[in-house]
Structure 1
Amino acid sequence: MLNERVSAAKKIASELHQAEDALDEAMICIARLAATLPTARRDTNMSAIVGQTAMGKVAHALAAAGEVRQLLTDAHLALTVTQKEVGLGTRMFGAGVKPPSGMLSDEGSNDQALADVVTPSFAKAS
């Protein structure tokens, strides 16, 4: 039974990290686009009005991606609670950089009920 729980936890950690990485990559791409749009407008000597609606939409997309990223980090923290609830205690499923103590609870988490959980134990493997 313990082996099945550990196996499930490893699969969940892997899927979570893949989702986090994919979202980070999407945010990087959106940020590059957000920089390219005004650069292209300026380089082609177009009016500031040209492409403004598109620039606003891209900026909104980047902000929305940031909100999604926060939700994923909240889920990450929730899974540390679940991990303990299913009897896995503190286990590392890889070596990751832990946030400074208290950082996650002070950085605008969407789930303040998890404020006392500051050390994710489903850390990324290296």
Structure 2
Amino acid sequence: MTSPQTFDGATILVIDDSATMRSCLAAYLGEAGYRVVLAEDGFDALAKIGDCQPALIVCDIVMPRLDGYRTCALVRASAGFHATPVLMLSSREGLFERARGSMAGASACLAKPLAREALLAAVRQQLAAVAH
């Protein structure tokens, strides 16, 4: 029996320009029972967000064309997704990245390389926060 705190079946939009990271995140989240939609950059994500209606977004910061900060800010500025939690991923862990992510509207910032349990704990925490 699953606990209601697992949010089985919740849709998570994963945005990362690295195919390796996308498949790794999709495996972690898919195995945990989430429905995963993949996007290779911010533009791809913005094209898919309306159709997939994600409960949460996991977004890399450093991407070509439209980086994670701008993608997050655009999501926050949209009427339909302004309350959707965004977990930012950074290969550089530091106060500057967290502060800039927070200014763009990120709910939290996680450092790469990402441990499976740290990712799942952050996802559960963010989903629980919006459920209350």
Question: TM class, shorter-chain normalised?
Answer: under 0.3
Larger strand share, 1 or 2: 2
Structure with the largest fraction of helix: 1
Larger Rg: 1
- The TM-score, its normalising length taken from structure 1, stands at 0.26
Higher relative contact order (CA 8 A, sep 6+): 1
